[in-house]
Structure 1
Amino acid sequence: MSTAIATDHAPAPRARERGRVTQANVIRSEWTKLWSLRSTRWSLLAAVVAQGALGILVAAVQMNRWTHLSPHDRETYNSIDTGVGGYHLAQLAIGVLGVMIISSEYSTGMIRSSFMAVPKRLPVLWAKIAVFSSVTFVLMLVSSVVSFFVVQALSTQHHVQHAIGDPTALRVVVGTALFLTVLGVLATGIGALIRNTAGGIAFFVFLLFVLPGITAILPHTVGDSINPYLPLNAGFTVATSVFEDSHHLSPWGGFAVFCGYAALAVGAAMVGLLGRDA
Protein backbone atom coordinates (compact mmCIF):
# COMPACT_ATOMS: atom_id res chain seq x y z
CA MET A 1 0.00 0.00 0.00
CA SER A 2 2.79 2.44 0.91
CA THR A 3 4.55 1.66 -2.36
CA ALA A 4 1.41 2.40 -4.31
CA ILE A 5 0.92 5.73 -2.54
CA ALA A 6 4.52 6.79 -3.19
CA THR A 7 4.12 5.91 -6.86
CA ASP A 8 0.91 7.89 -7.15
CA HIS A 9 2.53 11.03 -5.77
CA ALA A 10 5.83 10.75 -7.68
CA PRO A 11 6.24 13.48 -10.35
CA ALA A 12 5.69 12.33 -13.91
CA PRO A 13 8.83 11.95 -16.05
CA ARG A 14 7.73 14.78 -18.33
CA ALA A 15 7.18 17.10 -15.35
CA ARG A 16 10.60 16.21 -13.93
CA GLU A 17 12.16 16.96 -17.32
CA ARG A 18 10.52 20.38 -17.44
CA GLY A 19 11.92 21.22 -14.03
CA ARG A 20 15.49 20.24 -14.86
CA VAL A 21 18.10 22.71 -16.09
CA THR A 22 18.65 21.35 -19.58
CA GLN A 23 19.89 23.18 -22.65
CA ALA A 24 16.48 22.72 -24.27
CA ASN A 25 14.76 24.33 -21.30
CA VAL A 26 17.22 27.23 -21.30
CA ILE A 27 16.62 27.75 -25.03
CA ARG A 28 12.88 27.73 -24.40
CA SER A 29 13.33 30.36 -21.70
CA GLU A 30 15.49 32.56 -23.92
CA TRP A 31 12.93 32.25 -26.72
CA THR A 32 10.26 33.58 -24.38
CA LYS A 33 12.49 36.43 -23.19
CA LEU A 34 13.44 37.40 -26.75
CA TRP A 35 9.86 37.80 -27.93
CA SER A 36 8.60 39.40 -24.72
CA LEU A 37 10.59 42.59 -25.40
CA ARG A 38 9.01 45.26 -27.58
CA SER A 39 12.46 46.45 -28.67
CA THR A 40 13.13 43.00 -30.14
CA ARG A 41 10.05 43.08 -32.32
CA TRP A 42 10.74 46.61 -33.54
CA SER A 43 14.41 45.87 -34.27
CA LEU A 44 13.62 42.70 -36.18
CA LEU A 45 10.86 44.49 -38.07
CA ALA A 46 13.33 47.21 -39.03
CA ALA A 47 15.81 44.59 -40.24
CA VAL A 48 13.16 42.77 -42.29
CA VAL A 49 11.89 45.99 -43.88
CA ALA A 50 15.43 47.14 -44.66
CA GLN A 51 16.51 43.82 -46.14
CA GLY A 52 13.28 43.25 -48.02
CA ALA A 53 12.50 46.76 -49.25
CA LEU A 54 15.69 48.78 -49.72
CA GLY A 55 16.90 46.83 -52.75
CA ILE A 56 13.44 47.01 -54.32
CA LEU A 57 13.31 50.76 -53.81
CA VAL A 58 16.76 51.27 -55.34
CA ALA A 59 15.91 49.06 -58.31
CA ALA A 60 12.62 50.86 -58.92
CA VAL A 61 14.36 54.25 -58.97
CA GLN A 62 17.13 53.02 -61.25
CA MET A 63 14.73 51.40 -63.70
CA ASN A 64 12.57 54.53 -63.87
CA ARG A 65 15.63 56.71 -64.48
CA TRP A 66 17.40 54.25 -66.75
CA THR A 67 17.72 56.65 -69.68
CA HIS A 68 19.17 59.31 -67.37
CA LEU A 69 21.89 57.02 -66.01
CA SER A 70 25.39 57.36 -67.38
CA PRO A 71 26.64 54.66 -69.78
CA HIS A 72 28.99 53.45 -67.04
CA ASP A 73 26.16 53.11 -64.52
CA ARG A 74 24.02 51.16 -67.00
CA GLU A 75 26.94 48.93 -67.90
CA THR A 76 27.88 48.15 -64.30
CA TYR A 77 24.32 47.74 -62.96
CA ASN A 78 24.03 44.37 -61.25
CA SER A 79 20.58 43.19 -60.26
CA ILE A 80 22.00 40.43 -58.04
CA ASP A 81 23.80 42.83 -55.69
CA THR A 82 20.90 45.27 -55.86
CA GLY A 83 18.50 42.49 -54.89
CA VAL A 84 20.29 41.88 -51.58
CA GLY A 85 21.54 45.43 -51.03
CA GLY A 86 19.26 45.93 -48.06
CA TYR A 87 21.87 44.31 -45.82
CA HIS A 88 23.71 47.65 -45.74
CA LEU A 89 20.92 48.94 -43.50
CA ALA A 90 19.71 45.69 -41.94
CA GLN A 91 23.11 45.03 -40.40
CA LEU A 92 22.66 48.01 -38.08
CA ALA A 93 19.39 46.70 -36.67
CA ILE A 94 20.77 43.17 -36.29
CA GLY A 95 23.99 44.37 -34.67
CA VAL A 96 22.31 46.68 -32.17
CA LEU A 97 19.79 44.00 -31.20
CA GLY A 98 22.56 41.42 -30.85
CA VAL A 99 24.31 43.61 -28.30
CA MET A 100 21.09 44.43 -26.47
CA ILE A 101 19.76 40.91 -25.97
CA ILE A 102 22.37 40.31 -23.31
CA SER A 103 23.68 43.75 -22.28
CA SER A 104 20.17 44.90 -21.37
CA GLU A 105 19.94 42.07 -18.82
CA TYR A 106 23.09 43.36 -17.14
CA SER A 107 21.69 46.89 -16.98
CA THR A 108 18.41 45.72 -15.41
CA GLY A 109 19.98 43.06 -13.18
CA MET A 110 17.91 40.30 -14.79
CA ILE A 111 21.09 38.45 -15.65
CA ARG A 112 21.48 37.50 -11.98
CA SER A 113 18.14 35.69 -12.07
CA SER A 114 19.24 33.88 -15.23
CA PHE A 115 22.48 32.76 -13.60
CA MET A 116 20.68 31.69 -10.43
CA ALA A 117 18.47 29.45 -12.56
CA VAL A 118 21.42 28.25 -14.67
CA PRO A 119 24.48 28.32 -12.37
CA LYS A 120 26.89 27.06 -15.06
CA ARG A 121 26.24 30.31 -16.99
CA LEU A 122 27.52 29.18 -20.40
CA PRO A 123 24.23 27.48 -21.37
CA VAL A 124 22.61 30.91 -21.10
CA LEU A 125 25.03 32.31 -23.67
CA TRP A 126 24.59 29.29 -25.95
CA ALA A 127 20.81 29.62 -25.73
CA LYS A 128 20.84 33.34 -26.55
CA ILE A 129 23.08 32.74 -29.56
CA ALA A 130 21.04 29.75 -30.76
CA VAL A 131 17.70 31.57 -30.52
CA PHE A 132 18.87 34.88 -31.97
CA SER A 133 20.88 33.35 -34.82
CA SER A 134 18.03 31.02 -35.81
CA VAL A 135 15.50 33.86 -35.90
CA THR A 136 17.92 36.11 -37.78
CA PHE A 137 18.78 33.52 -40.42
CA VAL A 138 15.16 32.63 -41.19
CA LEU A 139 13.94 36.23 -41.36
CA MET A 140 16.90 37.50 -43.39
CA LEU A 141 16.77 34.57 -45.81
CA VAL A 142 13.08 35.11 -46.49
CA SER A 143 13.62 38.86 -46.87
CA SER A 144 16.57 38.32 -49.24
CA VAL A 145 14.65 35.88 -51.41
CA VAL A 146 11.64 38.20 -51.68
CA SER A 147 13.81 41.22 -52.48
CA PHE A 148 15.86 39.29 -55.04
CA PHE A 149 12.89 38.08 -57.06
CA VAL A 150 11.07 41.42 -56.96
CA VAL A 151 14.23 43.23 -58.13
CA GLN A 152 14.63 40.75 -60.99
CA ALA A 153 11.02 41.35 -62.01
CA LEU A 154 11.65 45.11 -62.06
CA SER A 155 14.88 44.66 -64.00
CA THR A 156 13.22 42.79 -66.87
CA GLN A 157 12.00 46.03 -68.44
CA HIS A 158 15.60 46.80 -69.43
CA HIS A 159 16.70 43.15 -69.78
CA VAL A 160 19.28 43.25 -67.00
CA GLN A 161 17.67 40.64 -64.76
CA HIS A 162 19.29 37.46 -63.44
CA ALA A 163 17.86 34.07 -62.54
CA ILE A 164 18.48 32.44 -59.19
CA GLY A 165 20.42 29.75 -61.01
CA ASP A 166 22.85 32.22 -62.59
CA PRO A 167 26.46 32.14 -61.36
CA THR A 168 26.85 33.68 -57.87
CA ALA A 169 23.10 34.46 -57.52
CA LEU A 170 22.16 31.68 -55.11
CA ARG A 171 25.39 32.07 -53.18
CA VAL A 172 24.76 35.80 -52.72
CA VAL A 173 21.15 35.35 -51.58
CA VAL A 174 21.99 32.66 -49.04
CA GLY A 175 25.30 34.30 -48.18
CA THR A 176 23.55 37.54 -47.23
CA ALA A 177 21.46 35.69 -44.65
CA LEU A 178 24.57 33.89 -43.37
CA PHE A 179 26.51 37.15 -43.13
CA LEU A 180 23.78 38.87 -41.11
CA THR A 181 23.41 35.82 -38.87
CA VAL A 182 27.11 35.70 -38.00
CA LEU A 183 27.02 39.48 -37.56
CA GLY A 184 24.35 38.95 -34.90
CA VAL A 185 26.50 36.33 -33.17
CA LEU A 186 29.46 38.72 -33.20
CA ALA A 187 27.32 41.48 -31.69
CA THR A 188 25.99 39.13 -29.01
CA GLY A 189 29.54 38.18 -28.07
CA ILE A 190 30.47 41.85 -27.82
CA GLY A 191 27.42 42.56 -25.65
CA ALA A 192 28.28 39.68 -23.32
CA LEU A 193 31.89 40.79 -23.10
CA ILE A 194 31.33 44.52 -22.46
CA ARG A 195 28.06 44.11 -20.49
CA ASN A 196 26.95 47.66 -21.23
CA THR A 197 24.53 48.56 -24.02
CA ALA A 198 26.04 51.92 -24.96
CA GLY A 199 29.59 50.61 -24.71
CA GLY A 200 28.77 47.44 -26.64
CA ILE A 201 27.08 49.33 -29.47
CA ALA A 202 29.93 51.84 -29.60
CA PHE A 203 32.51 49.06 -29.88
CA PHE A 204 30.41 47.27 -32.51
CA VAL A 205 30.18 50.46 -34.61
CA PHE A 206 33.90 51.14 -34.21
CA LEU A 207 34.94 47.62 -35.17
CA LEU A 208 32.72 47.34 -38.23
CA PHE A 209 32.26 50.88 -39.54
CA VAL A 210 34.88 53.23 -38.09
CA LEU A 211 37.93 50.99 -38.43
CA PRO A 212 37.66 50.76 -42.25
CA GLY A 213 37.57 54.55 -42.40
CA ILE A 214 40.77 54.74 -40.35
CA THR A 215 42.59 52.31 -42.63
CA ALA A 216 41.40 54.31 -45.65
CA ILE A 217 43.74 57.17 -44.71
CA LEU A 218 46.75 54.86 -44.58
CA PRO A 219 49.09 54.54 -47.58
CA HIS A 220 47.50 52.36 -50.26
CA THR A 221 50.15 49.65 -49.97
CA VAL A 222 49.37 49.29 -46.25
CA GLY A 223 45.61 49.75 -46.54
CA ASP A 224 45.27 47.24 -49.37
CA SER A 225 47.01 44.63 -47.21
CA ILE A 226 44.85 45.27 -44.14
CA ASN A 227 41.40 46.08 -45.55
CA PRO A 228 40.46 42.59 -46.83
CA TYR A 229 40.88 41.19 -43.32
CA LEU A 230 38.77 43.75 -41.49
CA PRO A 231 35.54 42.20 -40.15
CA LEU A 232 33.07 43.98 -42.40
CA ASN A 233 35.18 43.72 -45.55
CA ALA A 234 35.73 40.03 -44.96
CA GLY A 235 32.07 39.36 -44.22
CA PHE A 236 30.80 41.29 -47.25
CA THR A 237 32.51 38.93 -49.69
CA VAL A 238 29.93 36.15 -49.34
CA ALA A 239 27.11 38.64 -50.01
CA THR A 240 28.71 40.25 -53.07
CA SER A 241 28.49 39.23 -56.71
CA VAL A 242 30.69 41.85 -58.40
CA PHE A 243 33.59 43.41 -56.49
CA GLU A 244 34.53 47.03 -57.12
CA ASP A 245 37.99 46.56 -55.61
CA SER A 246 40.45 43.88 -56.63
CA HIS A 247 41.85 43.70 -53.10
CA HIS A 248 39.45 41.29 -51.43
CA LEU A 249 39.31 37.74 -50.11
CA SER A 250 37.42 34.94 -51.81
CA PRO A 251 33.71 34.78 -50.89
CA TRP A 252 33.92 31.79 -48.60
CA GLY A 253 37.45 32.59 -47.44
CA GLY A 254 36.31 36.04 -46.33
CA PHE A 255 33.26 34.57 -44.65
CA ALA A 256 35.52 32.14 -42.76
CA VAL A 257 37.60 35.07 -41.50
CA PHE A 258 34.40 36.84 -40.42
CA CYS A 259 33.27 33.71 -38.57
CA GLY A 260 36.66 33.74 -36.84
CA TYR A 261 35.96 37.24 -35.50
CA ALA A 262 32.59 36.06 -34.20
CA ALA A 263 34.17 33.02 -32.58
CA LEU A 264 36.81 35.23 -30.95
CA ALA A 265 34.15 37.54 -29.51
CA VAL A 266 32.10 34.62 -28.18
CA GLY A 267 35.22 32.96 -26.75
CA ALA A 268 36.20 36.15 -24.93
CA ALA A 269 32.62 36.43 -23.62
CA MET A 270 32.83 32.84 -22.32
CA VAL A 271 35.98 33.63 -20.37
CA GLY A 272 34.34 36.74 -18.96
CA LEU A 273 31.20 34.88 -17.92
CA LEU A 274 33.20 32.27 -16.04
CA GLY A 275 35.71 34.63 -14.47
CA ARG A 276 33.69 37.70 -13.55
CA ASP A 277 30.76 38.34 -11.25
CA ALA A 278 27.40 39.15 -12.77
Structure 2
Amino acid sequence: MSTELAAPSAARTGGKVSLGGVLRSEMIRFFSLNSTRILILVSIVVYVGIAAIGIWGVGSLMQNMPAGEQIPGTEMMGSTDFAVETLASGLMFSQLILGVLGVLLFSGEFTTGSAVSTFLASPQRLRVMAAKIIMITVLTAVVQLVSTLAAYLVCRPLAENYSLTLDMGSEAFARMLWYGVLAVVMAALIGLALGGLLRNSAGGITSLVALFFVLPMIAQILMAVTDWFKDYARFMPDQLGLGLALPLSYPSTLETWQQLLGVAGWILIPLILAGVLLKSRDIK
Protein backbone atom coordinates (compact mmCIF):
# COMPACT_ATOMS: atom_id res chain seq x y z
CA MET A 1 0.00 0.00 0.00
CA SER A 2 2.84 2.40 0.87
CA THR A 3 4.48 1.72 -2.51
CA GLU A 4 1.27 2.57 -4.33
CA LEU A 5 1.02 5.85 -2.43
CA ALA A 6 4.67 6.75 -3.01
CA ALA A 7 4.53 6.24 -6.76
CA PRO A 8 1.89 8.90 -7.52
CA SER A 9 3.70 11.29 -5.22
CA ALA A 10 6.95 10.80 -7.09
CA ALA A 11 5.14 11.21 -10.39
CA ARG A 12 3.56 14.48 -9.31
CA THR A 13 6.86 16.00 -8.17
CA GLY A 14 8.89 14.43 -10.93
CA GLY A 15 11.51 13.50 -8.32
CA LYS A 16 13.07 16.97 -8.64
CA VAL A 17 14.10 19.28 -5.84
CA SER A 18 14.31 22.96 -6.75
CA LEU A 19 16.23 25.76 -5.06
CA GLY A 20 12.92 27.47 -4.34
CA GLY A 21 11.59 24.36 -2.63
CA VAL A 22 14.71 24.01 -0.50
CA LEU A 23 14.57 27.71 0.39
CA ARG A 24 10.92 27.43 1.41
CA SER A 25 11.71 24.39 3.55
CA GLU A 26 14.63 26.19 5.22
CA MET A 27 12.47 29.19 6.03
CA ILE A 28 9.68 27.12 7.55
CA ARG A 29 12.09 25.16 9.70
CA PHE A 30 14.23 28.13 10.74
CA PHE A 31 11.35 30.41 11.71
CA SER A 32 9.70 27.61 13.69
CA LEU A 33 12.58 27.79 16.20
CA ASN A 34 12.15 29.99 19.25
CA SER A 35 15.84 30.89 19.16
CA THR A 36 15.41 32.54 15.74
CA ARG A 37 12.59 34.81 16.87
CA ILE A 38 14.34 35.62 20.14
CA LEU A 39 17.62 36.58 18.46
CA ILE A 40 15.85 38.80 15.93
CA LEU A 41 13.89 40.56 18.68
CA VAL A 42 16.99 40.96 20.86
CA SER A 43 18.93 42.40 17.91
CA ILE A 44 16.31 45.08 17.27
CA VAL A 45 15.79 45.95 20.95
CA VAL A 46 19.53 46.16 21.69
CA TYR A 47 20.19 48.32 18.63
CA VAL A 48 17.38 50.75 19.43
CA GLY A 49 18.25 50.81 23.15
CA ILE A 50 21.94 51.59 22.55
CA ALA A 51 21.00 54.28 20.02
CA ALA A 52 18.66 55.97 22.52
CA ILE A 53 21.25 55.82 25.30
CA GLY A 54 23.91 57.22 22.97
CA ILE A 55 21.78 60.15 21.79
CA TRP A 56 20.73 60.90 25.36
CA GLY A 57 24.33 60.75 26.57
CA VAL A 58 25.68 63.04 23.85
CA GLY A 59 22.77 65.47 24.22
CA SER A 60 23.13 65.62 28.01
CA LEU A 61 26.85 66.24 27.76
CA MET A 62 26.39 69.08 25.29
CA GLN A 63 23.55 70.61 27.30
CA ASN A 64 25.56 70.56 30.53
CA MET A 65 28.71 71.87 28.91
CA PRO A 66 29.60 75.34 30.26
CA ALA A 67 28.65 78.13 27.84
CA GLY A 68 31.56 79.32 25.76
CA GLU A 69 33.75 76.36 26.75
CA GLN A 70 34.71 73.37 24.64
CA ILE A 71 35.91 70.10 26.13
CA PRO A 72 38.83 68.72 24.07
CA GLY A 73 37.67 65.99 21.73
CA THR A 74 34.05 67.13 21.60
CA GLU A 75 34.36 69.48 18.61
CA MET A 76 32.35 67.20 16.28
CA MET A 77 29.61 66.23 18.74
CA GLY A 78 27.10 68.78 17.47
CA SER A 79 27.45 67.79 13.81
CA THR A 80 24.92 65.80 11.81
CA ASP A 81 27.48 63.12 10.98
CA PHE A 82 28.30 62.57 14.64
CA ALA A 83 24.62 62.29 15.57
CA VAL A 84 24.08 59.73 12.81
CA GLU A 85 27.03 57.64 13.95
CA THR A 86 25.80 57.85 17.54
CA LEU A 87 22.50 56.44 16.29
CA ALA A 88 24.44 53.45 14.93
CA SER A 89 26.40 52.80 18.14
CA GLY A 90 24.86 49.34 18.42
CA LEU A 91 26.05 48.17 15.01
CA MET A 92 28.77 45.91 16.41
CA PHE A 93 26.23 44.20 18.65
CA SER A 94 23.98 43.61 15.66
CA GLN A 95 26.94 41.97 13.95
CA LEU A 96 27.42 39.64 16.89
CA ILE A 97 23.75 38.72 17.44
CA LEU A 98 22.90 38.19 13.77
CA GLY A 99 26.25 36.52 13.21
CA VAL A 100 25.24 33.99 15.86
CA LEU A 101 22.03 33.50 13.89
CA GLY A 102 24.16 32.62 10.86
CA VAL A 103 26.18 30.11 12.88
CA LEU A 104 23.05 28.40 14.19
CA LEU A 105 21.50 28.17 10.73
CA PHE A 106 24.23 25.78 9.57
CA SER A 107 25.62 24.25 12.76
CA GLY A 108 22.11 23.36 13.93
CA GLU A 109 21.89 20.80 11.12
CA PHE A 110 24.73 18.81 12.65
CA THR A 111 24.09 19.55 16.33
CA THR A 112 20.53 18.20 16.15
CA GLY A 113 21.33 15.44 13.67
CA SER A 114 18.88 16.77 11.08
CA ALA A 115 21.65 17.05 8.46
CA VAL A 116 21.09 13.43 7.42
CA SER A 117 17.41 13.97 6.60
CA THR A 118 18.14 17.36 5.01
CA PHE A 119 20.67 15.99 2.55
CA LEU A 120 18.66 12.87 1.88
CA ALA A 121 15.77 15.08 0.82
CA SER A 122 18.11 17.32 -1.21
CA PRO A 123 21.24 15.36 -2.20
CA GLN A 124 22.83 18.38 -3.92
CA ARG A 125 24.55 19.82 -0.88
CA LEU A 126 25.58 23.10 -2.47
CA ARG A 127 21.94 23.82 -3.32
CA VAL A 128 21.08 23.53 0.37
CA MET A 129 23.97 25.83 1.22
CA ALA A 130 22.87 28.32 -1.45
CA ALA A 131 19.37 28.38 0.07
CA LYS A 132 20.87 29.09 3.49
CA ILE A 133 23.03 31.89 2.07
CA ILE A 134 20.04 33.54 0.38
CA MET A 135 17.86 33.24 3.47
CA ILE A 136 20.39 34.58 6.00
CA THR A 137 21.36 37.43 3.66
CA VAL A 138 17.79 38.62 3.14
CA LEU A 139 16.83 38.04 6.77
CA THR A 140 19.74 39.94 8.32
CA ALA A 141 19.46 42.77 5.79
CA VAL A 142 15.76 43.24 6.60
CA VAL A 143 16.34 43.02 10.36
CA GLN A 144 19.12 45.62 10.22
CA LEU A 145 17.01 47.97 8.10
CA VAL A 146 14.12 47.64 10.54
CA SER A 147 16.48 48.21 13.49
CA THR A 148 17.93 51.37 11.97
CA LEU A 149 14.58 52.86 11.02
CA ALA A 150 13.11 51.99 14.43
CA ALA A 151 16.11 53.63 16.12
CA TYR A 152 15.59 56.73 14.00
CA LEU A 153 11.91 57.00 14.92
CA VAL A 154 12.66 56.54 18.63
CA CYS A 155 15.68 58.84 18.75
CA ARG A 156 14.60 61.73 16.55
CA PRO A 157 12.36 63.37 19.22
CA LEU A 158 15.12 62.81 21.76
CA ALA A 159 17.69 64.39 19.44
CA GLU A 160 15.46 67.40 18.78
CA ASN A 161 15.11 67.90 22.52
CA TYR A 162 18.88 68.36 22.73
CA SER A 163 19.15 70.33 19.43
CA LEU A 164 20.92 67.44 17.67
CA THR A 165 20.28 66.93 13.97
CA LEU A 166 19.24 63.51 12.69
CA ASP A 167 18.63 63.95 8.97
CA MET A 168 17.42 60.83 7.17
CA GLY A 169 18.17 62.49 3.84
CA SER A 170 21.81 63.20 4.64
CA GLU A 171 24.71 61.43 2.98
CA ALA A 172 25.94 60.29 6.39
CA PHE A 173 22.61 58.58 7.16
CA ALA A 174 22.49 56.83 3.79
CA ARG A 175 26.06 55.63 4.25
CA MET A 176 25.34 54.38 7.75
CA LEU A 177 22.12 52.68 6.66
CA TRP A 178 23.36 50.74 3.63
CA TYR A 179 26.91 50.05 4.69
CA GLY A 180 25.58 49.11 8.12
CA VAL A 181 23.41 46.49 6.42
CA LEU A 182 26.49 45.26 4.53
CA ALA A 183 28.51 45.01 7.76
CA VAL A 184 25.80 42.92 9.43
CA VAL A 185 25.28 40.68 6.39
CA MET A 186 29.05 40.10 6.28
CA ALA A 187 29.06 38.98 9.93
CA ALA A 188 26.05 36.70 9.36
CA LEU A 189 27.63 35.04 6.30
CA ILE A 190 30.93 34.56 8.12
CA GLY A 191 28.91 33.01 10.95
CA LEU A 192 27.16 30.73 8.45
CA ALA A 193 30.52 29.63 7.05
CA LEU A 194 31.88 28.98 10.55
CA GLY A 195 28.82 26.89 11.35
CA GLY A 196 29.43 24.81 8.23
CA LEU A 197 33.16 24.48 8.81
CA LEU A 198 33.05 23.57 12.50
CA ARG A 199 29.66 21.82 12.57
CA ASN A 200 29.34 22.82 16.19
CA SER A 201 27.27 25.71 17.55
CA ALA A 202 29.47 26.46 20.56
CA GLY A 203 32.65 26.34 18.48
CA GLY A 204 31.16 28.51 15.74
CA ILE A 205 29.85 31.15 18.15
CA THR A 206 33.15 31.22 20.05
CA SER A 207 35.08 31.68 16.80
CA LEU A 208 32.74 34.47 15.71
CA VAL A 209 33.14 36.30 19.02
CA ALA A 210 36.90 35.90 18.82
CA LEU A 211 36.99 37.27 15.28
CA PHE A 212 34.77 40.31 15.87
CA PHE A 213 35.45 41.15 19.52
CA VAL A 214 38.55 39.48 20.97
CA LEU A 215 40.90 40.03 18.03
CA PRO A 216 40.00 43.75 17.72
CA MET A 217 40.93 44.24 21.38
CA ILE A 218 44.23 42.45 20.84
CA ALA A 219 44.76 44.55 17.72
CA GLN A 220 44.27 47.76 19.73
CA ILE A 221 46.98 46.67 22.15
CA LEU A 222 49.38 45.70 19.37
CA MET A 223 48.79 48.96 17.50
CA ALA A 224 49.58 50.90 20.68
CA VAL A 225 53.01 49.28 20.96
CA THR A 226 53.90 48.66 17.31
CA ASP A 227 53.52 50.60 14.08
CA TRP A 228 53.70 47.77 11.55
CA PHE A 229 50.53 46.04 12.83
CA LYS A 230 48.37 48.96 11.73
CA ASP A 231 48.82 47.89 8.11
CA TYR A 232 47.22 44.52 8.93
CA ALA A 233 44.57 45.70 11.39
CA ARG A 234 42.80 47.80 8.77
CA PHE A 235 41.93 44.60 6.87
CA MET A 236 40.22 42.95 9.83
CA PRO A 237 36.49 42.34 9.25
CA ASP A 238 35.29 44.65 12.01
CA GLN A 239 37.43 47.52 10.72
CA LEU A 240 36.32 47.01 7.13
CA GLY A 241 32.59 46.78 7.85
CA LEU A 242 32.35 49.46 10.52
CA GLY A 243 34.82 51.68 8.67
CA LEU A 244 32.46 51.82 5.69
CA ALA A 245 29.39 52.61 7.80
CA LEU A 246 30.97 54.82 10.48
CA PRO A 247 34.00 56.62 9.03
CA LEU A 248 34.21 59.13 11.89
CA SER A 249 34.33 56.46 14.58
CA TYR A 250 36.40 53.98 12.56
CA PRO A 251 38.66 56.01 10.28
CA SER A 252 40.53 54.08 7.60
CA THR A 253 43.31 54.88 5.18
CA LEU A 254 41.73 52.57 2.59
CA GLU A 255 39.59 53.79 -0.29
CA THR A 256 35.93 52.75 -0.36
CA TRP A 257 36.51 50.27 -3.19
CA GLN A 258 39.38 48.69 -1.26
CA GLN A 259 37.19 48.29 1.81
CA LEU A 260 34.43 46.75 -0.30
CA LEU A 261 36.95 44.35 -1.85
CA GLY A 262 38.09 43.37 1.62
CA VAL A 263 34.51 42.74 2.76
CA ALA A 264 33.92 40.58 -0.32
CA GLY A 265 37.03 38.56 0.51
CA TRP A 266 35.92 37.97 4.10
CA ILE A 267 32.53 36.77 2.81
CA LEU A 268 33.59 34.64 -0.14
CA ILE A 269 36.69 32.85 1.13
CA PRO A 270 35.06 31.25 4.23
CA LEU A 271 31.92 30.37 2.24
CA ILE A 272 33.91 28.75 -0.56
CA LEU A 273 35.95 26.76 1.95
CA ALA A 274 32.76 25.70 3.75
CA GLY A 275 31.22 24.64 0.42
CA VAL A 276 34.26 22.57 -0.56
CA LEU A 277 34.33 20.77 2.78
CA LEU A 278 30.57 20.26 2.71
CA LYS A 279 30.90 18.32 -0.55
CA SER A 280 33.94 16.31 0.52
CA ARG A 281 33.14 15.36 4.14
CA ASP A 282 30.69 12.80 5.42
CA ILE A 283 27.44 14.23 6.73
CA LYS A 284 27.47 12.28 9.97
Equivalent AA in structure 2 for residue 71 of structure 1:
I
Deviation at 1:243, TM superposition (A): 3.8
The match for 2:135 among 121, 131, 134 is: 131
Please name the residue that 1:268 is paired with.
273
Deviation at 1:275, TM superposition (A): 0.6
8 Å CA contact 1:172, 1:241 repeated in 2: no
Q: Gaps (5+ residues) in structure 1?
A: 1-8
CA distance in 1, matches of 2:40, 2:208: 18
Q: In the alignment, which residue of structure 2 is the partner of 1:59?
A: 55
- How do 1:137-156 residues align onto structure 2 when only pairs under 5 Å count? 137-156=141-160
Tell me the SS of whatever aligns to 1:25.
Answer: helix
Query: Given the superposition, is the C-alpha separation of residues 45 and 186 from structure 1 closer, same or farther in structure 2, using an over 3 Å criterion?
Result: same
Q: Which of these residues, 85, 98, 112, is aligned with residue 102 of structure 2?
A: 98
1:71 matches 2:64? no
Q: Deviations over 1:125-162 (max 9, x none)?
A: 11111112111111111211221344343222343313
User: In terms of mean alpha carbon deviation, does 89-98 or 207-216 score higher?
Assistant: 207-216
Pair 1:60–1:213, CA change in 2 (3 A): closer
Q: Deviation at 1:239?
A: 1.5
Q: Against the structure 1 CA distance between its residues 221 and 241, is the aligned structure 2 distance closer, same or farther, given a 3 Å change threshold?
A: closer
| Residue 210 of structure 1: how far off its partner (Å) | 1.8
**What is the rounded CA distance, in whole Å, between the counterparts of 1:12 and 1:244 in structure 2?**
56
2:3 maps to: none
Q: Which residue of 2 aligns with 1:6?
A: none
Residue ranges of structure 2 left out of the alignment (5+ in a row)? 1-6
CA distance in 2: counterparts of 1:217 and 1:57, whole angstroms: 27
Partner residue in 2 for 1:232: 238
Q: Structure 1 residues 256-265 or 54-63, which shifts more? A: 54-63
1:160 maps onto 2:164 in alignment:
yes
Does residue 1:36 correspond to 2:39, yes or no?
A: no
TM-score by length of 2: 0.85
Question: What's the CA shift for 1:11?
Answer: 7.5
Q: How far is 1:73 from its partner?
A: 5.6
The one-letter code of the counterpart of 2:254 is L
Farther-moved stretch of structure 1 (252-261 vs 195-204): 252-261
Q: How far apart are 1:171 and its partner, in Å?
A: 1.4
Are 1:21 and 2:17 counterparts?
yes
- AA aligned opposite 1:75: E
CA RMSD of the aligned region, Å? 2.4
Task: Sort the Cα spacing of 1:20 and 1:37 in 2 relative to 1 into closer, same or farther, 3 A.
Answer: same
Tell me by how many angstroms 1:170 deviates: 0.8
Q: CA deviation at 1:169?
A: 1.8
Letter aligned with residue 13 of structure 2: R
TM-fit CA distance, 1:212: 2.2
1:46 and 1:90 in contact (8 A); partners too: no
For 1:74 and 1:145, locate their aligned partners in 2 and report how far apart those are by CA, in whole Å. 26
Q: 1:47–1:89: 8 Å Cα contact kept in structure 2?
A: yes
Secondary structure at the aligned position of 2:228 is classed as helix
Matched residues in 2 for 1:86 and 1:243: separation? Answer: 12
User: Structure 1-normalised TM-score?
Assistant: 0.87
- Separation in structure 2 between the aligned mates of residue 72 and residue 32 of structure 1, nearest angstrom: 53
Letter of the structure 1 residue corresponding to residue 279 of structure 2: L
- CA distance in 1 between counterparts of 2:30 and 2:106 reads 10
1:190 is displaced (CA, Å) by 1.0
Does 1:107 find its partner at 2:103?
A: no
Q: Structure 1 residue 222: deviation in Å?
A: 1.3
| Residue of structure 1 in register with 2:4 after alignment | none
Q: Of 159, 184, 191, which residue of structure 1 is paired with 2:188? A: 184
For 1:16, give the aligned amino acid.
T
> Could you report, residue by residue, the CA deviation over 1:221-241 in whole angstroms, capped at 9, with x for unpaired residues?
212111110111111122114
| More moved, 196-205 vs 216-225 | 216-225
Three-state SS of the structure 1 residue aligned to 2:227 is helix
Q: Distance in 2 between matches of 1:65 and 1:207?
A: 33
Secondary structure, counterpart of 1:264 in structure 2? helix
User: Could you tell me whether the CA contact under 8 Å between 1:83 and 1:149 is conserved in 2?
Assistant: no
In structure 1, the partner of 2:263 is 258
Deviations along 1:17-59, whole A, 9 cap, x unmatched? 7x63000000000001110111111111111112233202221
Deviation at 1:120, TM superposition (A): 1.3
